[in-house]
Amino acid sequence: MTASLIARGRRRRARRRHAVIGGACALLLAGFALTLMLGQSFVAPQTVLRVLAGQDVPGASFTVGQLRLPRAVVAILAGLSFGLGGAAFQIMLRNPLASPDIIGISRGASVAAVLAIVVLDLDGPMVSVMAVIAGLAVAIAIHGLASRGGVAGTRLILVGIGVSAMLDSVIAWTLSRAPSWDLAEAMRWLTGSVNGAHLSQALPLLASLAVFGGLLVSRSRDLETLRLGDDTAAALGTDVAATRVAVIVAAVGLIAVATAITGPIAFVAFLSGPIAARILGPNGSVLIPAALVGAALVLVGDYAGQFLLPARFPVGVVTGALGAPYLIYLIVRMNRTGGSL
């Protein structure tokens, strides 16, 4: 009798969750289709389908097949990675400010990618590997610097801000040494961009989503218990330390691989989780919805940067301009409640 009452509430939450995820997937697909059709010139849906089917259509094969499709695919995959990785950090550290792009992990990956490309003249998977290693190194460094008998959230964030500032100047230094000072290329490593995306770049992104994303989702129940506090999570039988390590490795992997390809697209990791949580409400883990929101942010932000604004801007400039007011809103809200975030 009472058990059925509990079951009803649980099923209602599950239904809402599925509706949100389904709706987000549908919207994302629609956005994907629209960005393939719209742009400088309109391409009819049938033509898009013919190009996707591999037929050679004069004109459309180039604009859709070579320009728009790779760009949209890379945008979506990078957005999924940023959204997942960012939300994982925010859940684990129980603080929306503790996202990898604020505490310097994206910056670390970006520095490694810039060094690998500009100084060591590498490309392809080696860049991703270096980015992942650097991201992990920054994560370990920040953790070590901020911990003094347990990790204090505020200190971790401030340490991260300091480390980011230093890494930023390393990027600026490396870029100033680059043989040809190219503003567009510099923008990629400072704010993130999907300009000139290739379909071949989708492969490492897919692989990282499969490996790191899979690891993260398999740990999502343990991760959820961390939201109740470390002590409660341990009392519920979660191995807190092991979960932490798995989540950090997976989230840093996702963020770093995506950063090595698109640059640190500003604030996508930071924004996706809270937006997803707002849409989803208290109906289960926010991981998957956050990934979908991240994909939508990058896809739409890139489209807006290309076609909706007076000049052509890389996607990172658009998301950066979106994210900053939200960060300010968080601070104002923190002030109003008087407590921490």
Partner 1 sequence: MTAHSLSVHRLSAGYGDRTILQGLDLDILPGRITAIVGANACGKSTLLRSMARLLAPQQGQVLLDGKAVHRMPPRQVARIMGLLPQSPLAPEGIAVADLVGRGRHPHHGILSRWSQADDQAVADAMEATRTLDLAHCAVDELSGGQRQRVWIAMALAQQTDLLLLDEPTTFLDISHQIEVLDLLTDLNQRRGTTVVMVLHDLNLAARYADHLVAMAGGALHAQGAPDEVLTEDTVRAVFGLSSRIVPDPTSGRPMMLPIGRHRMA
Partner 2 sequence: MTAATAIPGLDRRPGGGRGLWLVLLVFLLALLGALSVAVGTRDVGLDDILAALHGRTDSIGQAAVAARIPRTVLAAVAGAALGLSGAVMQGVTRNPLADPGILGVNLGASLAVAVAVAWFGIASMQAYVWVAIGGAGATAAFVYAIGSLGRGGPTPLKLALAGMATSVALSSLVVAVMLSRGDVAGGLQAWQIGGVGGATFARLMPVLPFLGAGLAISLASARWLNALALGDDMAAGLGERVAVARGVSSAGAILLCGATTAVCGPIGFVGLVVPHLCRLLTGIDHRWLLPFSALGGACLLIASDIAGRLLARPAELDVGIVTALVGAPVFVGIVRRARVREL
Contact residues: partner 1, CB under 8 A = 2-7, 9-10, 13, 94, 149, 218, 221, 224-225, 227-229, 231-232, 234-239, 277, 281-282
Supply the angle between the helices 183-191 and 315-337 in degrees, to the nearest 10: 30
| Of the residues 76, 102, 131, 233, which one makes contact with partner 2 according to CB under 8 A | 102
320 binds, options partner 1, partner 2, none, Cβ within 5 to 8 A by partner type: partner 2
User: Which of 32/212 has CB closer to partner 1?
Assistant: 212
176 binds, among partner 1, partner 2, none (CB under 5 to 8 A by kind): partner 2
**CB-nearer residue toward partner 2: 213 or 273:** 273
Q: How far is the CB of 225 from partner 1 (least distance, A)?
A: 6
**Taking the complex as a whole, how short is the minimal distance between the CB of residue 324 and partner 2, in angstroms?**
3
Helices 268-280, 69-92: axis angle to 10 degrees equals: 70
Alpha helices in the chain (DSSP H): 2-37, 45-52, 60, 69-92, 105-114, 125-146, 153-177, 183-191, 202-208, 214-218, 220-226, 230-235, 240-262, 268-280, 287-303, 315-337
307 binds partner 2 (CB under 8 A): no
**Residue from 41, 183, 231, 237 in contact with partner 2 (CB under 8 A):** 183
The binder of 228, among partner 1, partner 2, none, by C-beta within 5 to 8 A per type, is partner 1
The CA distance from 98 to 66, in Å, is 37
Nearer to partner 2 by C-beta: 178 or 207? 178
Q: DSSP class of residue 40?
A: S
Shorter beta-carbon distance to partner 2: residue 74 or 167: 167
* 3-class DSSP state of 312: coil
Query: Of partner 1, partner 2, none, which one does residue 238 interact with (CB within 5 to 8 Å by kind)?
Result: partner 1
> Does residue 179 touch partner 2 according to CB under 8 A?
no
Q: By C-beta, is 6 or 311 nearer to partner 1?
A: 6
- CA dist list (Å): 169 to 100, 101, 111, 124, 175: 18, 16, 10, 25, 10
Phi–psi pair at 147, nearest 5 degrees: -85, 135
| Distance, CA of 271 to CA of 292 (rounded, Å) | 12
Tokens of 103: 């505490």
Q: How far apart are CA 196 and CA 77, in angstroms?
A: 15
**What's the DSSP call for residue 44?**
-
* 28 is a contact residue toward partner 2 (CB under 8 A): no
Q: Which listed option, partner 1, partner 2, none, makes contact with residue 114 (CB within 5 to 8 Å by class)? A: none
Out of 33, 162, 220, 279, point to the residue binding partner 2 (CB under 8 A). Answer: 162
Geometric angle at alpha carbon 246, from 240 and 249, rounded to 5°: 135
In a 10 Å sphere around its CB, with 0-12 CB exposed, 13-18 middle and 19+ buried, how is residue 26 labelled? exposed
Under the criterion CB under 8 A, does residue 168 sit at the interface with partner 2? yes
In the set 2, 4, 46, 176, which binds partner 2 (CB under 8 A)? 176
Closest CA relative to residue 203, chosen from 317, 70, 313: 70
161 part of the interface to partner 2, by CB under 8 A: yes
Rounded to whole angstroms, what are the CA distances from 241 to 146, 147, 215, 236, 237? Answer: 17, 14, 15, 14, 12
Question: Considering beta carbons, is residue 221 or 333 the nearer one to partner 2?
Answer: 333
Query: Closest CB to partner 1 among 99 and 319?
Result: 99
Contact with partner 2 (CB under 8 A) among 103, 138, 146, 246: 146
Name the nearest CA neighbour of 247 among 212, 271, 208, 277: 212
**Site residues, partner 2 (CB under 8 A):** 97, 102, 145-146, 148, 152, 154-155, 157-159, 161-163, 165-166, 168-170, 172-173, 176-177, 181, 183, 186-187, 190-191, 266-267, 310-313, 317, 320-321, 323-325, 327-328, 330-332, 334-336, 338
